[in-house]
Structure 1
Amino acid sequence: MHLVLNSFGASIRKENGLFAVSTAAGKQMIPPADVTSISVSKGARISSDAVLLAIEHEIDVLFVDGLGKPQGRVWSIRYGSISSIRRSQVEFLFSPRSVEWARDLVDEKINNQIALLLALNVGQDERTERLLRYAINSMEDHRGKIRKLEGESVSDISPTLRGWEGAASKRYFEALSACLPEGYRFEKRSRQPAEDRFNAMLNYAYGMLYGKVEGALIKAGLDPYTGIFHRDDYNRPALVFDVIEKYRIWADYVVVQLCRQEAMSEECFSETEGLGLMLDGLGKRILIQSVNDYLAEVIELNGLRRSRQEHIQRQAFELASLFQKAAQPMPDNE
């Protein structure tokens, strides 16, 4: 269970070894064993005893902004960057293997986007089908160019890689918009502020993913601030920006399905000067539940059946192992 406190005045404290969650709707007692994470928004409160109870049970506590993006977190001292992994992480950054890793990361992201467009290209009118075919062909062309990129380190290919990634994403979102009901279509990807319903929903869904990916990296002993592809994002969790690329499609899918079902009415949004269109209380509840339900679904990846959330954690451990193996000296040839 993911506890989300996103209404003003909501609080969580410890009572008799349980989490006592108080909202305008009443009070609920929840055992720590049933909780996987706690998310606290502005205007909500959590007591120090509740924080310590969460730490004791290895429960993530995140403090998030209005877009659902984590601004701070509390975790057990058992976690944290392990020095040997961190050294390996930095060494990997400047190795030729980082080029292959970054190239494969962006290639996988675009391939995921193409797969979603193909799934949506069913029952569309002729004009939309042409637009989807054009976008997919263009994105496949970008993938081909990306796979041919070579260099000694990521910095050698980053400008070109970012360019092809951006071009592919532009085609992707243009095609995605055409597949949505009229009231949910959008002109372009807009972040802060969001200019439309789709982007307001997607920004919040991405914010949720940031928190989950960062937590997985921390538990794996990785430094979330030392990125490979997004290495220039100073004083920001650059590795989170890297790793989330392969999971963005999950947020995309959830938001697209909500839009196609027209699940978000006008009362799910509010517009604030300077902040653009944002999800309101009801909208947040619908999206948070939808994202968490989707991440809890069990799927098969690389021969393993796990929930999507567990796959994120498993792949974080695999990334730490990759960094360490890449840092090991090659044996001398006899």
Structure 2
Amino acid sequence: MTIEDAAFLRTLYIQEQGTVLRIENERFRVTEGEDENERDIVNIPSIKVGQIVIFGACMVTPAAMRFCLMHRIPIVLLSSRGKYFSRLESTDDVNIELECLQFDRSTDARFQVQCSRNFVQGKIHNASVLLKRRSEERNSLRLLDAIRQLQHLEGAVEQADSPDTVRGFEGRAAAVYFGVLGELLDREGFSFSKRTRRPPTDPVNAMLSFGYSLLFNNIFSMVRIHRLHPYVGFLHADKPTHPALVSDLIEEFRTVIDGMVLGLVNRHVIGPDEFSIVRRSNGQIRGCYLSDHARKVFLREFENLMHRRTTHTSTGYHISYRRCLDLQVQEFALFLKGEKEYIPFRRR
């Protein structure tokens, strides 16, 4: 595989409800209807698919399931609104030696602090870069003050002597960053005052949550490809069913999604009327969700983003974002083994 080749993680998204995923002659077919009314929605060579993401009710034939397991093509199951349920993937490619090292390192206080600093410094740096880029044509004292605060916090993280202290700086930085993010929105009908999740309560938060979920899934797959244990982390506490390492590695890349969401709003790609707010019987918001059309547009833009080129900080390679994600996971594996220092991804 060349440094430019990210085809291993090309994603097949299936959103149409009631469809069937089949494998025939090493081609994936997504069909709807029965017998003589059956028609293909997708018909693609399996070699072009690195993972499959299914939204809602789609049947997977036993043959397709077996093919995916044999060829290590993960199937990710989401609700029709994008809530994560589970993954179906092969578990026969495990590096016990590397996983044992990862477990040992996770109890090494010095190593844990070093990892936490790297992840959070990268995250804060990229937050300040996004605000700088987007605020150049705005005369906003709040934005300038937020940028100064983030730069100060990025430097302060270097002196942190425990993961808890690092997490404290991360929390303060997030409050500063999300406190001014709404000033970068230029379209009526969209506003943002704070980050809300589980559930998101407004269109901007709904897009952020959906984008983070897609990014999270990509990094999860790369963690598995590089045979790391996704549930043993260093910045985020280990919890049952929580892929803590994936949560660690996503931090440096969250602002990539933030910038994409700002673009979707400000370029009028997705409108405020393409969301539905679900309420409980007492009137409390149960969640805000993208429409089927908005979700398709978002997925298209996300894939375009993953193919967009950027500069990988450690190697200097000018590559796609998806390949950049992969290289960063690979760099962490080398760091874990003591073969090189870990340099967080920093946007320019």
Give the TM-score taking structure 1 as reference length: 0.88
Cα deviation, residue 143, structure 1: 1.6
Structure 1 residues 63 and 47: alpha-carbon distance in aligned structure 2, compared to 1, 3 A threshold? same
Kindly indicate whether residue 105 of structure 2 is the aligned counterpart of residue 99 of structure 1.
no
Q: Which residue of 2 aligns with 1:330?
A: none
Kindly indicate whether residue 330 of structure 2 is the aligned counterpart of residue 317 of structure 1.
yes
| Cα deviations by residue, 1:291-317 (Å, 9 ceiling, x for unpaired) | 111112233312223321122222222
Cα deviation, residue 138, structure 1: 1.2
1:245 to 247, 251, 262: 251
8 Å contact from structure 2 (residues 55, 81) kept in 1? no
Q: Which residue of 1 aligns with 2:63?
A: 49
Q: Which residue of 1 aligns with 2:184?
A: 179
Between the aligned partners of 1:54 and 1:202, the Cα distance in structure 2 is 29
8 Å contact from structure 2 (residues 201, 277) kept in 1? no
Structure 1 residues 52 and 234: alpha-carbon distance in aligned structure 2, compared to 1, 3 A threshold? closer
Unaligned runs of 5+ in 1: 151-156, 327-334
Unaligned runs of 5+ in 2: 1-9, 281-285, 340-348
8 Å contact from structure 2 (residues 190, 272) kept in 1? no
Kindly indicate whether residue 279 of structure 2 is the aligned counterpart of residue 279 of structure 1.
no
8 Å contact from structure 2 (residues 77, 85) kept in 1? yes
Kindly indicate whether residue 319 of structure 2 is the aligned counterpart of residue 306 of structure 1.
yes
1:15-54 aligned at under 5 Å gives the runs 15-23=24-32, 26-27=39-40, 28-54=42-68
Between the aligned partners of 2:293 and 2:93, the Cα distance in structure 1 is 34
- Equivalent pairs: percent with the same residue? 26
Give the TM-score taking structure 2 as reference length: 0.85
Cα deviation, residue 67, structure 1: 5.2
- Say which SS state the counterpart of residue 176 (structure 1) adopts: helix
Q: CA RMSD in A?
A: 2.0
Amino acid corresponding to residue 228 of structure 2 in structure 1: L
8 Å contact from structure 2 (residues 231, 238) kept in 1? no
Q: Which residue of 1 aligns with 2:133?
A: 119
8 Å contact from structure 2 (residues 277, 288) kept in 1? yes
- Say which SS state the counterpart of residue 227 (structure 1) adopts: coil
- Say which SS state the counterpart of residue 196 (structure 2) adopts: coil
1:39-78 aligned at under 5 Å gives the runs 39-66=53-80, 68-78=82-92
2:148 to 127, 137, 154: 137
Cα deviation, residue 61, structure 1: 1.4
- Say which SS state the counterpart of residue 314 (structure 1) adopts: helix
The alignment covers a number of residue pairs equal to 316
Amino acid corresponding to residue 310 of structure 2 in structure 1: I
- Say which SS state the counterpart of residue 119 (structure 2) adopts: helix
Q: Which residue of 2 aligns with 1:7?
A: 16
Greater helix fraction, Structure 1 or Structure 2:
1
Cα deviation, residue 135, structure 1: 0.6
